[in-house]
Structure 1
């Protein structure tokens, strides 16, 4: 179990990934994203999660540069969006993301959603990017068990990560058990359920008992269950 923002977990391809990160879902590109990313890194974060769909990859790249932390010490994730699926489309989408980020590589590239009939071909493009060394690891997001099973039929490389909504009100037990069996690291977007569960008596009481905030209690649940949480924050 991780004990600090910079502790890492080892993925099944040997790459190590920070066990806690910052998500920037739909954070406004420009100053807001830049300041959020820079502040997070200055406070010890090493994992930053963005996506083509978020439209803020440029801000993430600038925030990373302005942080002054060497690129190799950071772990940057981005994702291919639904209208970018397909082998050639995915390769073009990745090149576009890389240019917006202003980077030579990304650490983790994910299929954002399993678009029916298209994601196996898209996965082949991710495998090529992985083989070429411009991504250090490849994975998926929002995949259920049946999506993963279908992907396995054609995949040469197994996903290292599955990023899904997961929190104490959506525990994803079946999916977590499957991913654990297949050695796929679980990662949680919206780990605080968009702050909708912070006022629930259970988390308030546990926070008072242990001298923590409800958010800290919930994120501890993720960490203790070997799930990497990537909460969103725009308040340095």
Structure 2
């Protein structure tokens, strides 16, 4: 049984290494940059993959540490923890468990493709500035949305990503907002800037409106304190 597990583990690792194209050393050498990850596999632990599945895994960048779980694997061998970290996972008896996590050497992790890229994806580019606290739809992309938190009398922006096959709808959950399953292309609501220097209500939910600097720059999103935005005034009513 021990020999079986050793063979199974080695075959799994060889397959994963071949897919992502990196090299490392078993003899105490430091991690090498190749492809998407900088990994040192010297301390993976026992040969038994079940031991790895129960071990604690963290994404580390300096003093910052982010703990990850099987949910972060997203039922795949590779997944982005956020816009900075990429996680490598192993399928053990139908469940994906985290093996190790590292900061992308290319700079960004594309949460849609689950690979490291040198150009920041839209989800990793906070093109919205907080105008008030709360959750906001992204008028340019339905898979992501914004959250503005108040910290030390300042508003901090978070760009959040819905799970696979889901989109954000501000009208979901009795108009409190949330990610819902995308059953048709029409479930994805976006609003484009067609004129410069203009306020425009969002197509699907006029409680929110945006200011278009021009037709190419990302807009600023606002929420009416009450009621909805009326272009004819213009203003919230």
Range class of TM-score, shorter chain:
under 0.3
Structure having the larger proportion of residues in strand: 2
TM-score (norm 2): 0.20
Name the larger-Rg structure. 2
Higher relative contact order (CA 8 A, sep 6+): 1
Structure with the largest fraction of helix: 1
Structure 1-normalised TM-score? 0.20
